[in-house]
Structure 1
Amino acid sequence: MADQARTVRNKQVILVSYPKDWVIEDNLRIEETDIHLSLKPGCGHVLLQTLWASVDPYLRWRMQESKEGLYAQPFQLGKPIVVRAVSKVIASDHQEIHVGEFVAGPISLGEYALVEGGQGLWKVDPNLAPLSYYLGLLGAPGLTAWAGLNLIGEPKPGDEFFVSAAAGAVGLVVGQLAKLKGCRVVGSVGSDDKVMQILCSPI
């Protein structure tokens, strides 16, 4: 456990109103508060410094008052929005998560985040891949692509494989996985810019 007796200013993104259509600046605000970089012994919590955060389309669907049609709870007004992020552990009272390690998981969007009981966090290794990859290729989009391809699609070499939204986080990965399996891959995108995004993709 680290007990750093100092206080810093923490910026967080707060939802102040539910969007009626597109998300606009008035729906959100940046709020600064003090946060202590220390933890009480026995709390079991983890204090994180955010390094990478993923701003995904599903966040828009959680910005609504009703839970109808959602697989997760809507965001609460006056509270930070929650995103998937990669963070560095700067204080910990968790038995399995230690100071200096890197973790991924859902956190309140801000410069720092307190995760009670370390809930939803898993360790990531910067020696295996760049930390940002754990939000994409080695994160939920990559897992979705792999599972959809191998557990549902089950393509065989020579199969024709079509990818809609081929420039998206999942589409970029699944198309290349299908090519590695020997498929002929065709994808659709919404603009010429997105075609260039695919051609210039490093993965």
Structure 2
Amino acid sequence: MRPLGTRRAVRAAGAATVAVLALAGCSAGQVAETAMLDTPIGGVDTQTVSGSVYIRNLQVEYPGVEGYAAGSNAPLELSLYNQTDNEITVSISTKPTEQAEVVSASQVGVVSAASPSPVASSSAAAPSSEASAEVEPSAPVAEPSGPAVDVAPAQFKIGAQGSALFRPTDAAQLQVIGLSEKLPPGTSVNLVFEFSDGSPTMEVQAPVATPLSPGPREEPHLDEDEEH
């Protein structure tokens, strides 16, 4: 027969082991969640109905107190997380909405500086008809007044348990292009998210980010009569 003190010691050790395992599991969950929070959260957080894709920290880069002018482009900050074991394609577009203080744009795309075109030579091989179809525009394009840029569709394949992160500091920025109206702080742009896994299409409003530090304060103007 085992002494009473020994049985109590065994029970205490077992309880301590269970507590350690529970704490370890909790910590693992916290680490997984913290991995998503790689930047201070200030934007919109949402997800698909099934939870297959997480949308995190969606916002427009803060441009200053004047905001973005109508017709201009605005960089987006966004993190997408695939929570499934299958690849998912996420497509982002924009559409008008009747909501107050919410604007739209002509398109959403990944904007990067265009590579300089190589100079053609007489010895260069002629491109195939397939290649020509990819690079030739269907209609004449006016010469750009500013630096040439490439715009890729906002369509992203995210691997199983993978992610796609977009920051305004990226060389190739995710942008809303051709704003329908002025976009000052306090307003949002309407975005449409579509998912290849069959999740319902989502309309999400991306707000203009708040500044990291307060703007300069204006000193009150005093008339000469008030000064004396």
Structure 1 length-normalised TM: 0.23
Q: TM-score, normalised to structure 2's length?
A: 0.21
Of Structure 1 and Structure 2, the greater helix share is in: 1
Higher relative contact order, chain-length normalized (CA < 8 Å, sep 6+): 2
Q: Which has the larger radius of gyration?
A: 2
